[in-house]
Amino acid sequence: MGRIPVESASATEIVVEGKRLTGFGGCNYLGLAHHPEVLNAVKAGLDRYGLSTTASRETTGDTTSHDSLETELATFLQAEQCLVTPEGYSANLALGQALARDYRVAITDEKSHRSVSHAVTAAGMRVIAYPHLDARAAGALAGEYVREGVVILTDGVFAADGSIAPAKALFDVLPKGRALLVIDDCHGFCVLGRSGRGTADHHGLTSAGVPLDSRVVLTTSLAKGLGCYGGALAGPSSIIQVAQDIASVYRGTTPAPPAIIEGSRQALKVVARDPMLIQKLRSNTDRLRRGLHKLGISLYPTPAPIFTFVTGDFPSMERIHRRLVSEGYLAPLIAYPGGPSDQYFRVTVNAMHSAEQIDGLLAAFGRAIDSEPTVKAGLGAEAKPLKFSEGRADGRTGTRELIGPWDLSLTPVFSPRLPA
């Protein structure tokens, strides 16, 4: 995916090459990256702590801010313990290093984020991918390897298509014995569940007064739903404490700056006290979904604020993309693994978008589609929800073993430069 050189940004607008655009890309699902209380907390944190701890937390780089955030996140997620890491990728790596001591086999959804497969592969675990969202296949594999210690790993919300893992079904198929479920909830945290508690809560693995089960571990980024920076893993102390004690990716790194951690603490307070933020996100998600359906665009059936779709061949989609930019809207056209095609639109909405901004994007999309006769003819008058593919992306069903880390290359297919 090519870079978009953002010169300045708010929760709903960006400036690129001097042009102000209403942005419908990225994450920041609640708009908290620009919330005045969060920004003020960061400024106060700079005055109190300076820019960096300059050392790892287990030497001289710990702060009361980091300790407090861990307690507050554990309470919010109803987990026994939490560990804050520099960012979401390192949260998975730290957990992988902790799991590898007692668990030898990792069963991963084939579309999970690369950090999931990389984490367990780098830790020396045997890694086997199961077909996307197929809890039955995951359970069958887990049953085969439970004597070695087995972990089922999945994204909560898959960033490339918005699909949601069947977390309850995955939990139900865990075999008795040495078996865990790990949910990478980077795109479900502060989006799904009661007050944004995430995918596990969305599927009833936690509820009011009922803590997270000791066989479930969560990892997340603090940059998506919370709009800040950092990562975290949460779950039973028997796992989290091991990560704190032995995970070199945690012990040997400088943590996220304490001022940023103060911003995360304040953002979490805003989420906890203002349930209307979550409701506004869901309302905006419904509004955009209904509008895209009216345009004849087929979408995956998911409540996540992530819309991935194709409207024709790549040249026509690039023309649509450029027309939208010329009208003042950024609806990113990207090349990224796991989506409905090699290149596709990935449009996101957040809680700060106004109805007028959403309707403006939809109207611009309509005009752009009208300007492409072949695209307009190809879109149905009543869009049908896309079905998640069963089995492997190449059309074959079944599982496959990952010999090494998945391919990291994301070769840019095009450069999203703005029209002159």
Mean of per-residue pLDDT scores for the chain:
90
Kindly state whether residue 406 falls inside one of the protein's structural domains.
no
Q: Which residues are bridge partners to 155 per DSSP?
A: 184
CB 339 within 8 A of CB 160: yes
Domain that holds residue 69: 36-273
260 and 141 share a domain? yes
Q: How far is CA 122 from CA 83, 116, 376, in A?
A: 20, 10, 47
Q: In terms of C-beta density within 10 A (0-12 exposed, 13-18 middle, 19 or more buried), how is residue 383 classed?
A: middle
DSSP 87: S
pLDDT at residue number 384: 62
105 and 216 share a domain? yes
88 and 188 share a domain? yes
204 and 226 share a domain? yes
* pLDDT tens per residue across span 73-115: 999 999 999 999 999 999 999 999 999 999 999 999 999 999 9
* Band of residue 14 on the pLDDT scale cut at 50, 70, 90: very high
Q: Would the CA dihedral through 205, 116, 77, 286 be positive or negative? A: negative
Residue carrying structure tokens 């004849």:
296
Kindly state whether residue 415 falls inside one of the protein's structural domains.
no
186 has pLDDT over 80 = yes
What's the rounded mean pLDDT across residues 24-49?
97
pTM for the predicted model, two decimal places: 0.91
Give the number of domains in the chain: 2
